[in-house]
Amino acid sequence: MKKIFHFFDKLEDNIRATLSKHNILYAFIGGVAIVLFWRGVWMTADAIPFLTGPISILISVIVLLGTGLFVSFFIGDEIIISGIKKEKRLDEKVASEVKTELDVLNNIQKRLDNIEKELKIR
């Protein structure tokens, strides 16, 4: 079983590496696969007689709440974190605030690059 997982893990890495060089093709393949997945889920749910609209909603809400995905999926982690930090939304920030944040991130990236160079030298 471990060999099978390892094989598919390596296969996935190779496919992602190849497709990442062709963004439009990658997006198209991913989009088609997602639509086909949800079509399959929809058709399977249609084949189960007791899965009416309200029952489907109830089951999905229970599963999403139980797995912690409900809020994360419908709101998103970044919005929750920015709300906790009482930050403005990106569309509310003025250009100078966005530029300042970008400068800070660039500085952090430079520091990390320097640390990485030092570690490679040792």
In 20-94, where does DSSP find H-type helix?
23-47, 53-67, 69-74, 77-84
pLDDT tens-digit readout, 58-71: 999 999 889 888 87
Residue 117 belongs to what H/E stretch?
helix 95-121
Q: Taking the model in full, what pTM does it have? A: 0.53
Cα(18)–Cα(22) distance, integer angstroms: 7
pLDDT tens-digit readout, 3-33: 898 899 899 989 988 988 888 999 999 999 9
In the DSSP assignment, the letter for residue 87 is P
For residue 82, give the nearest of 70, 71, 90 by alpha carbon.
90
